[in-house]
Structures are given as structure tokens and as C-alpha cells.
Structure 1
Amino acid sequence: MREIRADYDAKTIVVYQAYSPAIAGPALRAGRFVAPFSFTRMTWIKPSFLWLMHRSDWARKAGQERILGVRVSREGWEAALGEAVLINAPGYNDVTDAPVHAQWDPERNLRGAALNHYSIQIGIGRARIETYVRDWIVGLTDLTETAQKAAKLMRAGHADRAKKLLPPERAYPVPDAIAERLAMRD
């Protein structure tokens, strides 16, 4: 099953990114991404907190020590989804010029094990990074401490307490045309 699960409200959706302190610190102070954030390479955003925790090893991987919650307008999110090219679809070719890439990966549980449903990650390409930063982002939140606290609880055998720290995620209502584009309907 392919489903976008996210923390969202009527106007925004939260996606997650992991960065080094050198990138996250200035971004948090400015309230948006600024140098040394790269505006010339693709940046990947994920609406699944647990998928990012798996990818960043709960903020312990080098270069991924800071976890940011990036609040994006739903208008921007859906514009990105509407332009997305699936990179793991049958017949996939080189899409280096595509403005947005999409990839489905197995969702993860608290312990990092793959589940039997899929979570999406979106690659914002060079052609859209300025738009992402300037027009789509509504705000940034530092979730590093939350991630570290949840990881510590997990290591201590308190999965129930760790789970309470996770952002609330529920099925995101994807418009039919976008769901078809992203191969969400079987």
C-alpha cells in the first residue's frame, strides 16, 4: 500500500529533513534555509518522521545530527507532488532535468524495521529549490531534542513512552490526479 501519512492541518504539512549543525543552525536562526544550504543540488523531504529517523539513525549519522520539521504550504506540497517524476517506476529513465522526484520506500517502525506499506520521499530539484525555500516553506522547527529523547527511551526499552513523542501522522488526502501520477492506486 502506498499512502502519504503526515502531520498536517488545513493549510500546511510538515516534512522532515536532517542536516549538519552548520546548515541547521543558520536556517533556524533565519527561519528559512540560507547558506551554507545548497541551492544547486537536490534536497529530499519526507513527511514520515520515522522514515527520517531510520535514515538519520535518530540524528546520530554524520551530517544528519539536526532534525528539522519543515512546515510547508499544502499548495506548495501539492505543486511538488503534481510535478514529481517517480524514480523507481517501471520504465524510469534519467530524469535529471525533472523539477521534482518521488520515491516510495518501505515505511519504518520505531525500531527501524521495514513495514509492509510505503512512504514517500520527494526530491526537490535545482529548478524548484528557490521556490521551495522562498514560497512553500512557512516555518522551521528544531526536532533534534525530541528525536534524541525518543531514541534514548527506545534504547532503555520504553517504546510506549517514545511513541508519545512522535509527531501525529495520518493519511494525507491526495487529489486523484496526483495519486494516479504517483502510482498510489493499485
Structure 2
Amino acid sequence: MNDESGGSTEPRYQVTADWSEDAVTVYQAYRPEIGRPAARDGRFPAAWKRDRMTWVKPSFLWMMYRCGWATKEGQETVPAVRIRREGFEWALRNACLSHYARGPHEDRASWSRQLRRAPARVQWDPERDLRMRPLPHRSLQLGLAGEAAARYADEWILGIEDVTPRAHRIKALLTAGDVDAARALLPPEREYPLDREACAHLLIRGGPGGAPR
């Protein structure tokens, strides 16, 4: 395929996730007072602030890069949240890029207007391998606010699992040099069938410099 990849056979923008016909798993990282009750009860506790933007990541390894294998302060617990695909795709259709880029927007003013109205935001960052090295393609971060955050918390969640022990185990195996055993514990992720026509407003054409940081 030769689309927004800039001539490569691999798309620059990919959504890699553990998904099924009806659901997709996304990851977040919280302090234990939020993450543990969420996994226990299958819903976010009252301490979870639904009036703030919440960012979800479909890529387990990108989440591990972000939270330092669940060791960073305030990110010591990693819930894997299984949500309805219809909700995930609604968020993408209604999202706006978190940074201005030529192509998806006529100008900076039109992007700013859309950003204020959109209930979701998208940012693309380099995907990571098991050693946290950047890969050529970019991985999705999806920010949910307002209506999107409410739908996420109240309608889309099918289940929540605390994968913090898995994160610690993988990190310990990597430290011990057992890369194969560490890789065997990764979630069964594959490329998500992103509707590139419906998500054209989120895909930046041109050189790497046009991508959000």
C-alpha cells in the first residue's frame, strides 16, 4: 500500500491493538487508588475525574514506554480496558488532531475551531519495540473529553483487567535477558482495520515533519 506512508509499503499511521469483532482493548496508567478499584469493579471509581481529558492507548508497548513498565509516579497501575468497537470508532470519527498540520485542516484557525468542538483528540507518536526503541510507524493516542469521556465510562466499557503484574514480569524477564519469554507474555496485538477514508482527517500526508510530536 502506498498512501500516507510517503512511498513505503507500510502505513506511517497504524493502530495496533488486541481486538475482536466487537471489542478493542485500550490501556491507561493510574495511581493505585484509581487503577485497582477500576479493575476490581469493572468501572472507574468516583476519584476518576470525568471532567478531565483521559488518554487511552491501544498499543501495550507504547503504554509501557509511557509509564516506564508501571514504575513512574502516578502511573503505577495499568488497567487494560476492553471497550466496544463501535464506541472506539465513534471517537475516531469525531476526533481532531491535537496539533495543527497542513493537509487535514485548511489553516490554523479552522483547526483551532474544530479542536474546541471535538469530543476526542488524536496524537500520533512513534511506536516502540520490546526494548522501547522507536519504530518507523506511529502509534495512536486517543484523548477523550466531554461527551466522549462520558460515553467511555458509562457505555463503552465491557471489562477492566489490571495488567500491572504482567508489565512487571515482562520487565523482569527483559532485565534478565530472556527476550523470548518476555515477548511471549505480550498481548496478542495486530493491526486494527482502520477505516482510512473515515479517518482521513487524522492522517497527515507529506514528510515526517508534518506529524504531531
Q: Normalised by the size of structure 2, how large is the TM-score?
A: 0.83
Question: What is residue 8 of structure 2 aligned with on the other side?
Answer: none
Q: Any residues of structure 2 matched to 1:147-186 within 5 Å, and which? A: 147-183=167-203
Q: Which moved more, 1:104-113 or 1:92-101?
A: 92-101
**For the pair shown, which has the larger CA radius of gyration, 1 or 2?**
2
Question: What is residue 143 of structure 1 aligned with on the other side?
Answer: 163
Question: What is residue 59 of structure 1 aligned with on the other side?
Answer: 70
User: RMSD over aligned Cα, in angstroms?
Assistant: 1.5
Give structure 1 stretches of 5+ with no counterpart: none
- Structure with the higher strand share, 1 or 2: 1
Q: Distance in 2 between matches of 1:161 and 1:25?
A: 26
1:85 is paired with a residue whose SS is: strand
Task: Give the Å deviation of 1:96.
Answer: 4.2
Q: Deviations over 1:39-95 (max 9, x none)?
A: 110000000000000000000001111111100100000001011101134145372
Task: Give the Å deviation of 1:35.
Answer: 1.3
Q: Deviations over 1:83-117 (max 9, x none)?
A: 11011341453724420000000000111111111
Q: Deviations over 1:111-143 (max 9, x none)?
A: 111111100010001332111111111110110
8 Å contact kept, 1:179–1:185: no
Question: What is residue 44 of structure 1 aligned with on the other side?
Answer: 55
Question: What is residue 209 of structure 2 aligned with on the other side?
Answer: none
User: Amino acid of the residue matched to residue 169 of structure 1?
Assistant: E
1:13 is paired with a residue whose SS is: strand
The 4+ residue runs of structure 1 with deviation greater than 4 A are none
Q: Distance in 2 between matches of 1:87 and 1:144?
A: 28
Q: Distance in 2 between matches of 1:82 and 1:56?
A: 27
Question: What is residue 99 of structure 1 aligned with on the other side?
Answer: 119
Task: Give the Å deviation of 1:176.
Answer: 3.4
8 Å contact kept, 1:2–1:119: yes
8 Å contact kept, 1:3–1:184: no
Question: What is residue 141 of structure 2 aligned with on the other side?
Answer: 121
User: Amino acid of the residue matched to residue 137 of structure 2?
Assistant: H
8 Å contact kept, 1:105–1:119: yes
Q: Distance in 2 between matches of 1:149 and 1:77?
A: 29
Question: What is residue 131 of structure 1 aligned with on the other side?
Answer: 151
2:74 is paired with a residue whose SS is: coil
- Give the count of matched residue pairs: 186
1:58 is paired with a residue whose SS is: coil
Counterpart selection for 1:33 from 7, 31, 44: 44
8 Å contact kept, 1:68–1:143: yes
8 Å contact kept, 2:36–2:162: no
